[in-house]
Structures are given as C-alpha cells and as structure tokens.
C-alpha cells in the first residue's frame, strides 16, 4: 500500500510495482498526511485491505534551507506538521493494529537527525524531534511487541532538494562533498533488510555513519567543521544573491 498527495504519481508507482512483481496486488490511497481526515482514511483503508497493519513506514517529509534568523515561523510550523506531527499521529492511529501484528514502525529520519548542519536548522529540528519521539516510543512499545526502526539516510537521488523550502538568498540542493548519492531503490532494499533483521537504527551509508559518530562522540571537532561549512555556504549564497 502506498500513499502520496499526487494520485497520478501513485498510479504510476502501482503500475511499476505490478510490472515488477508479475501483477502483484497494490493499494494506493491519495491524501495529505498533515490532514487528520486523510490520516484516518489511510489507516482505515489499510486495515480493510489486509485486515491489519504489519509495517508502517513514515516516509513523508520536506526540507528547509535557511539561516536560523531567516526562518519563517509559519513555514516552520508547517514543516513540523509534516515531518513530526504526521508520523506521530499515524502511529497513534495504527497502534492497535501494530500491537495485534507485533509489527514495525519505520521512522525515516536523516543524518540531520543527529548532526545539524549550517542553514539546515529548521529541517534538523524536525528530525531531532522525530528521533526523540522514536527513542521514547521504542521503549514504550517494546512490551507490546512493536518495534521502532529509525532510518538515517544521507544524500539520496530524489526530488527532495528541488521540493524543499529555501529562504531568500539561500541556495538549496547543495550536496556534501565526498558523500555518495544513493538511489531510492538502494535505500528501500536496506530498509526491508533492516525490518526483517530486527534492527533499531539503520544508517544507510559510510558518510552517515562517519557524520553521526563525529557529531555524537567528538562534538568539538564537529563544531569546528560546522563553522567552516557555514562560511563556505555563506560564500555560495552570496554568489546566489549577487547573480
């Protein structure tokens, strides 16, 4: 079962899945997970389709590029509504099904969930919040047989950056130097294996593992790197503003 706001894109995805699986059954439900009525309908249709919910993948999200002093509060509220409130609420709505199936919640976080880069503070704030909720949720749901898997990708070849918010004069879409860009299919395969392998955390690349380790274990070094990154990003953004 798949959900997105774009019904046409969903049908294209369903056709691709059917072609790749020899006509496998696929349910698509168009809707906006920031709307309560759409969330309730999504969970209800999933339950009706298979009788229960085994795995809930919270993958919807949006990026935000901009210095902290330029963040628009209304946009930040909307970002939290999509990146944090929606996945939390979907888990609440699917809770009884997940308990019955001893299922798994997959929270799509990011390297930004443990390491906040310059001009990524708004996005990182949502992913830090998602990580905190996941830590608590994992402990709370363990006794009910429900697992919580946090996935931390790095750069992935999707339209994520093109669809992100960027404040005036800020360049979006700059990928970290030296970071290999993964395909969505590669990340999906890793997630499936992690679900099957009872993992708690999946960091999808060496870039993510190194960045995560540095931010958590040697924060002083990471702060020096972050200041240099900030200077480099400001120089690039100055070029954008003068262009």
| Domain of residue 125, CATH code | 3.40.50.720
Domain that holds residue 86: 53-242
- Pairwise pLDDT comparison (39 vs 228), residue with the higher score: 39
**How many structural domains are present in the chain?**
1
End-to-end CA distance of the chain: 45
Give catalytic status of residue 123 as yes or no: yes
In this structure, is residue 103 part of a structural domain? yes
Asked, for residue 12, whether it belongs to a domain, the answer is no
**58: enclosing H helix or E strand:** strand 55-58
Q: What is the pLDDT of residue 173?
A: 62
Which residues are CB-contacts of 234 (< 8 A; sequence separation ≥ 6)? none
**For the ranges 4-8, 156-160, 190-194, 239-243, the one whose mean pLDDT is highest:** 190-194
Q: Is the pTM of this model over 0.85?
A: yes
Q: Which of 64, 65, 85, 123 is catalytic?
A: 123
Residue 132 lies in a domain: yes
Whether residue 4 lies inside any domain: the answer is no
Q: Does 99 map to a domain? A: yes
Average pLDDT over residues 62-85: 96
Inside any domain, residue 36: no
pLDDT average, residue stretch 77-96: 98
**Is the Cβ–Cβ distance between 56 and 107 less than 8 Å?**
no
The answer to whether 121 touches 74, Cβ cutoff 8 Å, is no
Q: Does some domain include residue 63?
A: yes
Tell me the percentage of the chain whose pLDDT exceeds 90: 68
Query: Distance between alpha carbon 81 and the CA centroid of its chain, in Å?
Result: 13
| Inside any domain, residue 9 | no
Give which of 1, 82, 101 is closest to 41, Cα–Cα.
1
* Alpha carbon separation from 128 to 19, 110, 240 (Å, rounded): 38, 9, 29
Backbone torsions φ then ψ of 170, nearest 5 degrees: -115, 130
């Amino acid at each position: 079962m798949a959900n997105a706001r774009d019904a046409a894109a969903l049908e294209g995805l369903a056709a691709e899945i059917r072609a790749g699986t020899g006509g496998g059954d696929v349910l698509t439900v168009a809707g906006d997970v920031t709307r309560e009525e759409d969330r309730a309908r999504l969970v209800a249709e999933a339950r009706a389709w298979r009788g229960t919910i085994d795995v809930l993948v919270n993958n919807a999200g949006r990026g935000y590029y901009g210095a902290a002093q330029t963040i628009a509060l209304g946009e930040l509220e909307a970002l939290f509504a999509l990146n944090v409130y929606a996945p939390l609420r979907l888990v609440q709505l699917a809770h009884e099904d997940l308990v019955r199936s001893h299922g798994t919640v997959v929270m799509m976080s990011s390297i930004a969930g443990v390491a906040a880069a310059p001009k990524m503070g708004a996005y990182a704030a949502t992913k830090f919040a998602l990580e905190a909720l996941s830590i608590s949720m994992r402990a709370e749901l363990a006794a009910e047989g429900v697992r919580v898997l946090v996935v931390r990708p790095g750069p992935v070849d999707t339209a994520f950056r093109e669809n992100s918010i960027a404040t005036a004069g800020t360049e979006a879409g700059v990928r970290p130097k030296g970071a290999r860009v993964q395909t969505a299919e590669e990340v999906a395969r890793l997630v499936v294996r992690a679900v099957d392998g009872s993992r708690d955390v999946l960091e999808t690349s060496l870039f993510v593992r190194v960045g995560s380790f540095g931010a958590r274990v040697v924060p002083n070094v990471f702060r020096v790197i972050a200041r240099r990154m900030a200077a480099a990003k400001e120089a690039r953004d100055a070029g954008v503003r003068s262009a």
